[in-house]
Structure 1
Amino acid sequence: MTNQDLRVQLQENLDEAEWDWLIPHAKRDAIIVVKTGLELIEVGAAVASDDTEKVGLWISEALITKPSIEEIGEWNRHRTKRFYTLIVQPYVLVKAK
């Protein structure tokens, strides 16, 4: 599969979800938060193609992170908070709306 084919497939899987729907994924430590400045499709393509250099750079710059205890607490208080989501097994990439 070419990078372009992968991006098209990921674009088709882009969705929205409320925090309440994402809690089961958070419980299995599968949520990755994508910060402002990065696109979900770009991150999803890098994760899916195992681009460790790019992903490592984003991690080191805190552009992709696991949700903090504070973020989870805030989202649990506002369970209808919505996110853009992209599933890239075994992860669920989320970006706040």
Structure 2
Amino acid sequence: MRDKLAVTVGDVFWTDLRAHAARDALIIVADDLDLVDVGVAVASDDAATVEAWIRAGKLTKPTAEDLSRWQLEGAARFRSLIVQPFVLIRRPAPGMLS
């Protein structure tokens, strides 16, 4: 499963993520977690690990401020991984917002 998910990691623009945000499916992954490791845990329904990351603040939903800022800056790019029904994303680095 790890290899299958790893090949689907890619960069996307905010405009590609808006529909997923509208259905509340975006999950922000902390920089110190591997995006593919998180994808494997979500896909394999490893609830204990996912819950621990949520409690530690390592998996979060975008705030209203995040969504407003990203909407204004449609060229923001994100590293992403789709694990249905969720889209795991990394916050854009400051230089990637314009």
Identity %: 41
Counterparts of 2:67 and 2:31, CA distance in 1: 18
Q: Compute the TM-score of the two structures, normalised by the length of structure 1.
A: 0.91
Q: Compute the TM-score of the two structures, normalised by the length of structure 2.
A: 0.90
Partner of 2:33: 38
For residue 54 of structure 1, the aligned residue among 27, 32, 49 is 49
1:30-73 alpha-carbon deviations (Å, 9 max, x no partner): 10011111111010000000000100000001100111111111
Q: Where in structure 2 are the equivalents of 1:1-97 lying within 5 Å?
A: 6-97=1-92
Displaced runs of 4 or more, over 4 A: none
Counterparts of 1:12 and 1:35, CA distance in 2: 20
> How many Å apart are 1:96 and its aligned residue?
2.5
Matched AA of 2:67: I
Find the residue that maps to 1:13 and give its secondary structure.
coil
- Structure 2 residues without counterparts, runs of 5 or longer: 93-98
Matched AA of 2:68: G
Matched AA of 1:43: V
Give aligned pairs, total: 92
- Structure 1 residues without counterparts, runs of 5 or longer: 1-5
